[in-house]
């Protein structure tokens, strides 16, 4: 065979593999939107920062699929919380944030009342 044909064959398979990974792997990946793009006010943006620091490691914000805990997309759109069946309202969700539930630790010692209010404001946007 000619050297050019061998060179093309040698690089074709890895190139196609990279293209396939990018095409299929990027299906679930979405660019993170800014607070302005999401239309968040100052309180909601503050809640988003708290979410990113404390909640994101276990909960997906814009998906119903979870990581360790449930995804939180539309958490206040339903009458009841998906896993516990508790009412989906500020009082119940605040209590879960403060005290924890099942495998979720409580954040009452770490977050102030204002932090929790900001976090709830953000959760209402999901």
* Cβ–Cβ under 8 Å, residues 118 and 46: yes
Place domain 42-123 in its CATH homologous superfamily.
Cytochrome c-like domain (1.10.760.10)
Q: Where are the domains of the chain?
A: 42-123
Under the banding of pLDDT at 50, 70 and 90, the label for residue 7 is: low
85-120: b (≥16 Cβ within 10 Å) or e = eeebeeeebbebbeeebeebeebeeebeeebbebbb
Under the banding of pLDDT at 50, 70 and 90, the label for residue 68 is: confident
pLDDT at 15: 55
pLDDT over 50 (residue 41): yes
* Cβ–Cβ under 8 Å, residues 111 and 103: no
pLDDT over 90 (residue 97): yes
Q: What is the mean pLDDT of residues 96-104?
A: 93
pLDDT at 21: 46
């Amino acid at each position: 065979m000619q050297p050019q044909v061998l060179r093309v064959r040698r690089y074709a398979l890895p190139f196609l593999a990279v293209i396939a990974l990018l095409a299929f792997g990027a299906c679930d990946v979405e660019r993170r939107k800014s607070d302005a793009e999401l239309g968040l006010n100052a309180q909601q943006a503050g809640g988003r920062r708290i979410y990113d620091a404390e909640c994101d490691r276990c909960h997906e914000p814009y998906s119903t699929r979870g990581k360790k805990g449930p995804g939180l997309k539309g958490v206040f759109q339903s009458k009841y919380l998906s896993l516990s069946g508790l009412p989906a309202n500020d009082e119940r969700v605040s209590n879960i944030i403060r005290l924890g539930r099942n495998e979720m630790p409580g954040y009452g010692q770490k977050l102030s009342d204002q932090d929790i209010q900001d976090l709830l404001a953000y959760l209402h946007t999901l």
